[in-house]
Amino acid sequence: MYANGNRSIDFKELLNAILLDYINEVFNNDDQLMKMFCMFNKDGDGFITPVELASQMVKMGHPLTSRELIDLVHDIDTNGDGINRFHEFTAVLGMAISEFFEIKAS
Ligand SMILES: [Ca+2]
Ligand SMILES: [Ca+2]
């Protein structure tokens, strides 16, 4: 809850915490999320590289331009280390779900 190191709870952190609960509710357990993550993480090393992301998007019939790929990796990579890890993937998925259901934070 205090991921950014200060004492106040930032709105984004709160939203993330709520969304993570919500994702769990929607998928009932982590298995569905993990399956989705594994679809992208072909080599099973625990993170999704841009190459893995690009090839899976092609397979799903949505090839990305290099610009779109860079943007997508950047969007998922919340801590900026250049690697898309499982918790980052689920957080982004949560944002997509919330937009889909038009969840309001108020
Ligand atoms: Ca991988
Ligand atoms: Ca990252």
CA–centroid distance, 45 to ligand 1, in Å, is 5
How close is the Cα of 61 to the center of ligand 2, in Å? 25
Domain range for 17 is: 11-100
CATH number at residue 36: 1.10.238.10
Q: Quick check: is 1 in a domain?
A: no
Evaluate whether residue 3 is within a structural domain.
Answer: no
Separation of CA 30 and ligand 2 centre (Å) = 19
DSSP-derived letter for residue 79 is T
The answer to whether residue 34 is domain-embedded is yes
pLDDT digit string, tens, across residues 22-42:
666 665 656 777 887 888 899
Q: What is the dihedral of CA 63, 64, 69, 71, to 10 degrees?
A: -140
Domain count, the chain: 1
pTM listed for this prediction: 0.61
* pLDDT (tens digit per residue) in 44-83: 998 998 899 889 889 988 888 888 888 888 888 989 988 8
**Distance from the alpha carbon of residue 37 to the mean position of ligand 2, in angstroms:** 14
State in Å: Cα 52 to ligand 2 middle: 15
